[in-house]
Structure 1
Amino acid sequence: MKKYHSLRLILGDQLNRSHSWYKEKDDGVLYVLAELHQEASYVRHHVQKICAFFAAMESFASSLKAAGHHVKHLTLDDTVDFKTINELIASLCTEHSVKRFDYQHPDEYRLADQLKKLQLGIPVHCFGSEHFLLAQDELTDYIKVGKHNRMESFYRKLRKRFNILMDDDQPLGERWNFDGENRNKLKAADLKEIPQPLLFANPVGTYLDRIQRHHIDTLGRATEDLLWPIDRQQSLQLLDFFCLHCLPNFGRFQDAMTHNGESRWSLYHSRISFALNSKMLHPMQVIEAALARFAEANSGVDLAQVEGFVRQILGWREYVRAVYWVNMPDYAALNSFDAKTNLPEFFWTGKTKMACMKQAIDQSLDYAYAHHIQRLMVTGNFAMLAGIDPDQVDQWYLGVYIDAVEWVEMPNTRGMSQFADGGLIATKPYAASGSYINKMGDYCKGCHYSVKERFTENSCPFNSLYWHFMQRHSERFSRNPRTAMAYRSWEKMDADVQQALLLRADFCLSNLDQL
């Protein structure tokens, strides 16, 4: 067995070809990528998500080998006897008589904590992933532990620091944020203009066979050809496609929803989150590509569109990572509403009479993807209104979406979506009745329930659940400036209407699986 002086671990979400590790070849260094039972089963993942990570890891291993590095790529067949990643590492270090073990700082707290506990009897060194715009050790300079930190303030600091969309020390266009112009609903004429999404056809039959052979419990629809990018080249193609065809209307329709057309599931969204979160793309590379397109004459990209996109990458993505790391591990246990209801079965099957929920869940099961408004204002909104246990909500979101890695999933779910963190991220719960969903989409047309009715048997469950939620938390939110108007509206209702709304909500809460 060949001996190496160093063994370097590459996790499945650390596929950064530009990392300084790879600038020089060293015959004494062995790089290891491993499909692990631990990682495939710590939560019930979408089958396409596991296939995507396995395919991307294999592709990355091949690229390193082609560049002259020594690489060991291990499949589930090779790692079946190891219960944990630590056991595998210890075995490999002994097998190859290595004198030193290196790894890049994991993005998930559980893995960072696990690797920190390695006892190998040789030096262990942790390197930065060289991916994020903010280094791990400077996160507390921007986010205070246990406190609400405004994303907008964070975003402006990073705009200034990295000189993005700036005119000296002022924002380009004299405005920091165009969010108010990013809320258009798709009209009939707009539907015809939505571009067909760029899809790939990566064969994943061998990964599906391994997943089945090793009895990995998955969810979602399996496909023999994976539509997601699995290497840097495909990731760049998807980024270029977005900048050329989707960016001109991205901001305008980023909150819109529709059940019409073949492109309804992708709309103008970039769909590069898997490529970003697996580090096949770098966030600054993505920002610069969007800015370059914005700067081109006749690109059709105006400031509102590019700012809306930059805000997601430079602002929100870096922000939720900082909130996650500064507040972990306590953040994972926060449950400010003491929500305890079980997640309804239809989250796993899509079998519900609520058209908006069915559309969002079916899409998630079919593609391992839903855009941010479907996640926040449809499935997330419903889960919060219904008082679902945030642990179960976390597990569903973490498992079902191809881009879900805990550092980004948990703050978005437990914080932004469920307000379970008590306001560390959001200044108010993102609770809404059916009228919001109807305002931003066309799901309500043809639904079993009527969005116009509030408390009849045919009424949209979101309507009564919204008021029930607001009432059971009235002491907390009635004086919040961002929610006070809802309570003034409640006070103007007749007492019999209030009672009917609460009774309808009680029925819905007692019969969630039948909705």
Structure 2
Amino acid sequence: MAKRLKTLRLILGDQLNHQHSWFNDEQDDITYVLMEMRQETDYVVHHIQKVVAFFSAMRNFGNYLRNKDFQVIYLSINDPENLQNLDKNLNKIISEKNIEKFEYQFPDEYRLDEQLKKFSKHLHIKSEAFDSEHFFTKRDDLEKFYEGKKQLTMEYFYRYMREKNNILMATEKDPEGGKWNFDKSNRKKWTGDPEIPHERGFRKDVSKILKEIEQAEIKTMGSLDEKKFNWPTSREDSLSVLNYFCKNLLIHFGDFQDALHTEQEYLFHSRLSFSMNSKMLSPREVVDSVIDFYYEHRDTIDISQVEGFVRQILGWREYMRGIYWKEMPGYRRANKLDNQNKLPEFYWNAETKMNCLHHSIKNSLENAYAHHIQRLMITGNYALLTQTHPDEVDHWYLGIYIDAIEWVEITNTRGMSQFADGGIVATKPYVSSGSYINKMSNYCKNCHYKVSKKTEEDACPFNSLYWNFLDSKREYLKGNQRMKMMFSLLDKKDPGELEKIRKRAKKIISNPSIF
């Protein structure tokens, strides 16, 4: 048997996969390296809880490997040996340890993929890249699936994924429950009933890590109670959150997945996205666990609750990753609506009289979290209606959310939320006036502004912004069939009313701080 080369294996901060086949190999002459680096903390301003979560999860993973007697090099953020750059750290270790082969898992971010390909190309030793063994699909599966098709409709990809993986299928071709999609059952407004169980919390003391981050002078946003950190940062934590979701929240997840409420931060949502995006949990085990629990409790849990959850992971999550690898690197520069404005300052402090934005941003700053409708129809909707440059929106979303990694953030933000890709992800811009927000939430109830008014001083800003957006972006959107009815309504507006709308919208866009 040939002697194994002395090998260095890199594990990135979002590759904390306990079940990877790497760990089944003979471990002689293999060293694993994990690094906390300024390269990764500084490319955008991150939420303090996001930095703490990644450092904590990486350290737990490093300890897990050490407890299995694997050889581990761990460079913490203030380690004097840490050169704060991936290439520099790897070159130093390869030289000092006389490494003969370098191995890494395919990164999920384009910039790191390019960096590691370039680094490996210039190495004087052997190198090899491996699959991360996390997703249901390969990077190029979606591109192959849509080859020759004019439009990338997620629903068809989702159905294909259901059939291929035999998930919620009654037969090889027929979906369980007689329908592929129960989205129309997933739009209920929550008004206090049923009671929402408290989230599976942790209240961890992270003061040590927080002190190290402050010592390193890393610039962050948001807030953190150092003795009440509330996110899963180990596989055990993550499995506990998954189990809690199945037992306590799944029963009403689908009904209220689009709901919004001033007194509820998480509603019936699972809070599993960080665990999955860091790979402490695999999407397959999450989906399997939820479906197994459903099958055991079919007398009390409706299929619409489960299908809505499965669609987010098996459909939307895999779809967005496929779009990312199909469209990068050009995707990160897309600005098809030619929006140029700055993101309002209140996105960093929640100081606005608009109740919906205040609560959604406050939740984001305090918890590094907001669910998909808060992101899409509140903060994203407002950014698009005020014609904010997608770069501004990207940087905020990528920094503020604990689960934000570029492959999933940019497709949701620049594509779904901002329509900057011109319709690759979404078939129309997801914009609305205040009426949708009022329909799905209690935000409008105690707001400074009146959702029923259009252009008065106390009128909901979303109302004039909505019609102004349609008016100012007509040339970009006039060929979109799904916008036909709204443009027809716009055309029927009295010229005097339209002028008032434009004037009010201009004031809001020019002076966001006073609103």
What range describes the TM-score normalised by the shorter chain of this pair?
Answer: over 0.9
Does residue 113 of structure 2 align to residue 112 of structure 1? yes
What is the correspondence of 1:65-84 to structure 2 with a 5 Å cutoff?
65-78=66-79, 82-84=83-85
Identity across the alignment (%): 47
Which residue does the alignment assign to 1:171?
A: 175
Structure 1 match to 2:487: 487
What's the counterpart of residue 451 of structure 1?
Answer: 451
1:219 matched residue in structure 2: 221
Is 1:237 aligned to residue 240 of structure 2? Answer: yes
Q: Distance in 2 between matches of 1:187 and 1:365?
A: 24
Q: Distance in 1 between matches of 2:123 and 2:432?
A: 52
Distance in 1 of aligned mates of 2:354 and 2:371: 18
Does structure 2 retain, via aligned residues, the 8 Å contact 1:455–1:500?
yes
Post-superposition shift, 1:202? 2.4
Pick from 184, 197, 220 the counterpart of residue 188 of structure 2. 184
Contact 2:190 2:261 in 1 (8 A): yes
Answer whether contact 2:140 2:325 (CA < 8 A) is retained: no
Q: Which residue of 2 aligns with 1:276?
A: 276
TM-score by length of 2: 0.96
Q: C-alpha displacement at 1:512, in angstroms?
A: 1.6
| 121-130 or 475-484, larger mean C-alpha shift | 475-484
Q: How far apart are the structure 2 equivalents of 1:498 and 1:188?
A: 39
Q: Which segments of 5 or more consecutive residues in structure 1 lack a partner in the other structure? A: none
Query: In 2, Cα distance between the equivalents of 1:113 and 1:300?
Result: 49
Question: How far did residue 14 of structure 1 move?
Answer: 0.2
Q: Cα gap change, 1:420/1:383 in structure 2, threshold over 3 Å: closer, same or farther?
A: same
From 249, 252, 259, the counterpart of 1:249: 252
1:6, 1:147 → 2: CA distance? 46
Query: What SS does the aligned partner of 1:239 have?
Result: helix
Partner of 1:307: 307
User: What's 1:290 paired with?
Assistant: 290
C-alpha distance in 1 between matches for 2:369 and 2:480: 33
CA distance in 2, matches of 1:496, 1:259: 36
SS in 1 for 2:102: strand
Question: Aligned pair in 2 of structure 1 residues 341, 424: CA closer, same or farther (>3 Å)?
Answer: same
1:298 is displaced (CA, Å) by 5.5
Of stretches 303-312 and 134-143 in structure 1, the one that deviates more from structure 2 is: 134-143
2:334 alignment counterpart: 334
Runs (4+) off by over 3 Å = 143-148
Relative to the length of structure 1, the TM-score reads: 0.96
1:157 aligns with 2:144: no
Deviation at 1:477, TM superposition (A): 2.8
Q: Is 1:437 the counterpart of 2:437 in the alignment? A: yes
Q: Cα distance 1:382–1:69, how it changes in 2: closer, same or farther (>3 A)?
A: same
Aligned to 1:388: 388
What CA deviation, in whole Å up to 9, does each residue of 1:387-440 have, x standing for no partner?
A: 111011000000000000000000000000000000000000001001100100
The equivalent residue for 1:496 is 496
Q: 2:201 aligns with which of 195, 199, 202?
A: 199
Q: Deviations 1:435-467 (Å, cap 9, x if unpaired)?
A: 100100001111111111100011111000000
**Most deviating of 138-147 and 159-168:** 138-147
1:81-160 correspondence runs (5 A): 82-118=83-119, 119-144=122-147, 148-160=151-163
SS of structure 1 residue aligned to 2:482: coil
The residue type paired with residue 501 of structure 2 is L
By how many angstroms is 1:201 displaced? 2.1
The CA distance in 1 between the partners of 2:113 and 2:359, in whole Å, is: 36
Cα shift at 1:143 = 4.3
Q: Distance in 1 between matches of 2:229 and 2:145?
A: 38
Moved more, 373-382 or 68-77: 68-77
- 8 Å Cα contact 1:368/1:401 also seen in 2: yes
Q: How many residues align?
A: 508
Name 2:34's counterpart in structure 1.
33
SS of aligned partner of 2:378: helix
Contact 2:47–2:368, Cα closer than 8 Å, also in 1: yes
Cα distance, 1:181 vs structure 2: 1.0
* 1:45 and 2:32 aligned: no
> 1:442, 1:257 → 2: CA distance?
7
216 and 450 in structure 1: CA distance in 2 versus 1, 3 angstrom threshold: same
Residue 144 of structure 1 deviates from its aligned partner by: 4.9
Tell me which moved more, 147-156 or 301-310. 147-156
The amino acid of 2:193's aligned partner reads A
* Change in 2 beyond 3 A, CA 1:377/1:146: farther
AA of the residue aligned to 1:213: Q
Q: Letter of the 2:201 partner, please give it.
A: L
Once the two structures are overlaid, the 10-residue window that deviates more, 484-493 or 59-68, is 484-493
What RMSD in Å do the two structures reach over aligned CA positions?
Answer: 1.6
SS of 1:78's equivalent in the other structure is: coil
Instruction: Report which stretch shifted further, 203-212 or 403-412.
Output: 203-212
